[in-house]
Structure 1
């Protein structure tokens, strides 16, 4: 079986702290979905000044999360950006939370991600009727209560990531082949964590 690239694992606290700013997280997510964009284009989406968006993009670039993309138009004055890795990034709490500062950063970034994902899902729910029956029938929300060990939960995570990578590659290949009819960005959020009833 071929080895697929995995998301970059952040182990440097200063890099993770770049995402304690919610606007940076939002800009990264928008840029990831768009592929490439200018600060002005992103500024319109987040209702902020282009100069502020440019500042935050430069900060993300300093930490290696985004980079300048090649010019996308004949007007060479526009600065285009793209994410550095199409696999994205991730982190393990155990790598970063060994100090009070690390624990605070991990908590802030994790809560920011959860808030961002919940807001995205709420927006879909608010606009559900506008998507039409085909999309609302295809969309899902599920919860499974399982009895697992930490090793089994980690194995399930690996399997789910491999599945998501396969579907992402399928969508990219279809777009590259010109198959864009009916194709939309789709967000899938899954969480696996222990709990005691």
Structure 2
């Protein structure tokens, strides 16, 4: 099982390692699966097993993933899991040099592009989901006049709420209660803008 704390990325090398499009996809897939082999993940990202293995090793070099307990009977397969309960990073750790600022921005854009692609895929396939899932899905925008401390407070409270539901779902899965459960992506952005 992953460590219960989120890992704060503060070094440029680790941020760049995660900021590769395939590595970010593999990290996300491994986070959802909780443990998997390169073969399992290669099927999910539609890439060659050798290429996936290479990128998994790069993620492991930076401590983002670790080897997991072997599953099944094939002792040759290497199992992986994420090393922590997610990752985070902030601009304050990457604003000392132009290269750091550029890497921080590039990873942010990559995350947004992958999340947008994930939502577009849902929109394109939503008619295939049962009515209850189409009704439960959401897309909302709130325009609130906040201060920076209020936005930070909102972020903390929202994180606590999301973690409560994530932990509840995982506990149910661990107990064998998987009926009706799907992995749900929750994307939220909060940022100031001027009209």
What's the TM-score bracket when you normalise by the shorter of the two chains?
A: over 0.9
Q: Which residue of structure 1 lines up, in the alignment, with residue 74 of structure 2? A: 75
Match of 1:187, SS?
coil
Q: Which residue of structure 2 lines up, in the alignment, with residue 40 of structure 1? A: 39
Shift of 1:169: 1.0
Shift of 1:24: 0.3
Q: How does 1:42-121 map to 2 (within 5 A)?
A: 42-85=41-84, 87-121=85-119
Give me the whole-angstrom Cα distance separating, in 2, the residues matched to 1:116 and 1:72: 30
Give me the whole-angstrom Cα distance separating, in 2, the residues matched to 1:35 and 1:156: 28
Shift of 1:148: 0.7
Give me the whole-angstrom Cα distance separating, in 1, the residues matched to 2:110 and 2:95: 16
Residue 148 of structure 1 pairs with residue 146 of structure 2: yes
Q: Which residue of structure 2 lines up, in the alignment, with residue 179 of structure 1? A: 177
Match of 1:81, SS?
strand
Return 5+ residue gaps in structure 1 as ranges.
none
Q: What value does the CA root-mean-square deviation take over the aligned residues?
A: 1.0
Q: TM-score, normalised by structure 1?
A: 0.95
Q: Which residue of structure 1 lines up, in the alignment, with residue 28 of structure 2? A: 29
Give me the whole-angstrom Cα distance separating, in 2, the residues matched to 1:89 and 1:17: 13
Q: TM-score, normalised by structure 2?
A: 0.96
The runs of 4+ residues in structure 1 deviating greater than 2 Å are none
Shift of 1:160: 0.4
Return 5+ residue gaps in structure 2 as ranges.
none
Give me the whole-angstrom Cα distance separating, in 2, the residues matched to 1:35 and 1:166: 17
Give me the whole-angstrom Cα distance separating, in 1, the residues matched to 2:104 and 2:116: 18
- Size of the aligned set, in residue pairs, is 192
